[in-house]
């Protein structure tokens, strides 16, 4: 069974089998990823790109093979179009400070959506403070779907950049990003898509989407923490200045001037997270071997089952009921604080997230301080959903 490939799922919590439903925060890792990281440190532990000795060359080969695996996963035109980053947060900040900042003047606008994670809000607020630009927001409705009626008004001559999430980490909403990308391009506006939650759940094809930038976080898609990639169209990456200065991103340095290296090295200053990159490549290969369509189908089955199962809990309300969504369920229960729920069901082995999930504007819209969030991955089971429901019923009974 595929589930057997994830040893972390075999843990016990408070003497109960672990029911891990916090995948939107971070996923468990398959043996293929653990073996790849361990294998690097055991057999290839050397710095990359600079050495002529065998260990360095083998480490470099593994690292660049990983870049190729990730390019295949998201169908990038070339592995050279992928920059290794620490995750989506660094990917967004890199684009903000190197591609967007030089394009802005006071009064220009950046367009995001109400469904964004803080990591796709705060970098743009910082940029607006630095340049005098204005942040605009696509609204959402009570179902947690974007309201696009006024998109033509929001995308105008003042709009210089757009950045939107592919799948909401709090509500599971799958945004119509292809439609948004076309609308942006029709106005000559480049666009970044935050794919942190999309990459683990659906097939991503950056060429079909035609996005200018797309970023993913490794630890959401079964890879190591502190790893990720930023895809960018080649013409953008070649024109952008470097994000950081240091070793590897240069081809010549004198005290008078520096000549920068070619992409992708231009954006990868210093010794990178080599083991993390290799592990992330292994995660991409693992997902490809499982089959992205198979993962999508399993996600759909779990979503339907969980939606129906949660209806057994009186007073439970799911926040966000979009027609198109992944198996992510933020919910509240009448009369019970979210943190109390999370603490109680933890004693039954159930791991969920509580709070605002780094999306405070979403919960301000719903008039809530936060919620419980159960987020499923393809390795979860219907039996685990049943345990979740049973534990919620027991938690609710305690406060009856």
Closest C-alpha to 221, from 4, 2, 24: 24
Q: Is 128 a catalytic residue?
A: no
Burial of 286 (0-12, 13-18, 19+ CB in 10 A): buried
Closest C-alpha to 389, from 366, 368, 372: 372
CB atoms under 10 Å from CB of 331, counted, come to 19
Where would I find the beta strands (DSSP E) of 53-185? 82-85, 109-113, 134-138, 159-165
For residues 327 and 307, the answer to whether their CB atoms sit within 8 Å is no
- Which tokens hold the place of 51? 């050495």
Phi, psi of 181 (to 5 degrees): -65, -45
Spatial distance between the Cα atoms of 56 and 51, rounded to a whole number of angstroms: 5
- Which tokens hold the place of 24? 């939107």
Spatial distance between the Cα atoms of 337 and 300, rounded to a whole number of angstroms: 29
For residues 207 and 219, the answer to whether their CB atoms sit within 8 Å is no
Spatial distance between the Cα atoms of 163 and 181, rounded to a whole number of angstroms: 10
The total number of residues shown for the chain amounts to: 400
Residue 132: which region, alpha, beta or left (left: phi > 0; alpha: psi -120 to 50)? left
For residues 159 and 124, the answer to whether their CB atoms sit within 8 Å is no
Q: Which of these is catalytic: 128, 211, 358, 372?
A: 358
Catalytic residues: 358
């Amino acid at each position: 069974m595929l589930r057997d490939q994830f040893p972390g799922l075999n843990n016990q919590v408070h003497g109960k089998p672990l029911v891990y439903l916090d995948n939107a925060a971070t996923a468990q890792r398959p043996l293929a990823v653990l073996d790849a990281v361990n294998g690097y440190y055991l057999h290839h532990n050397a710095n990359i790109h600079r050495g002529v000795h065998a260990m360095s060359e083998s480490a470099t080969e593994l690292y660049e093979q990983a870049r190729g695996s990730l390019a295949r996963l998201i169908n990038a035109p070339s592995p050279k179009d992928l920059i290794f980053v620490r995750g989506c947060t660094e990917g967004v900040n890199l684009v903000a400070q190197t591609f967007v900042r030089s394009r802005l003047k006071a009064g220009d606008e950046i367009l995001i959506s109400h469904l964004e994670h803080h990591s796709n809000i705060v970098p743009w607020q910082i940029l607006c403070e630095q340049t005098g630009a204005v942040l605009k927001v696509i609204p959402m409705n009570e179902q947690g779907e974007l309201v696009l009626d006024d998109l033509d008004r929001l995308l105008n001559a003042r709009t210089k950049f757009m950045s939107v999430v592919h799948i909401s980490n709090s509500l599971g909403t799958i945004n119509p990003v292809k439609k948004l990308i076309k609308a942006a391009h029709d106005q000559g506006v480049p666009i970044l898509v935050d794919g942190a939650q999309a990459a683990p759940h659906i097939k991503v094809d950056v060429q079909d989407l035609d996005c200018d930038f797309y970023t993913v976080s490794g630890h959401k898609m079964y890879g190591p923490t502190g790893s990720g990639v930023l895809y960018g169209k080649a013409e953008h990456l070649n024109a952008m200045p470097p994000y950081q200065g240091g070793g590897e991103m240069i081809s010549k340095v004198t005290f008078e001037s520096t000549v920068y290296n070619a992409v992708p090295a231009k954006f990868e200053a210093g010794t990178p997270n080599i083991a993390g990159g290799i592990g992330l490549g292994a995660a991409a290969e693992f997902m490809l071997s499982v089959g992205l369509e198979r993962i999508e189908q399993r996600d759909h089955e779990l979503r339907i089952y969980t939606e129906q199962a949660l209806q057994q809990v009186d007073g439970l309300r799911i926040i966000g009921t979009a027609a198109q969504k992944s198996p992510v369920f933020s919910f509240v229960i009448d009369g019970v604080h979210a943190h109390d729920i999370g603490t109680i069901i933890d004693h039954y082995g159930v791991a969920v997230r509580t709070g605002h999930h780094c999306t405070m504007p979403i919960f301000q819209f719903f008039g809530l301080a936060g919620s419980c969030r159960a987020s499923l991955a393809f390795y979860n089971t219907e039996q685990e959903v049943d345990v979740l429901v049973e534990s919620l019923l027991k938690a609710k009974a305690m406060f009856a």
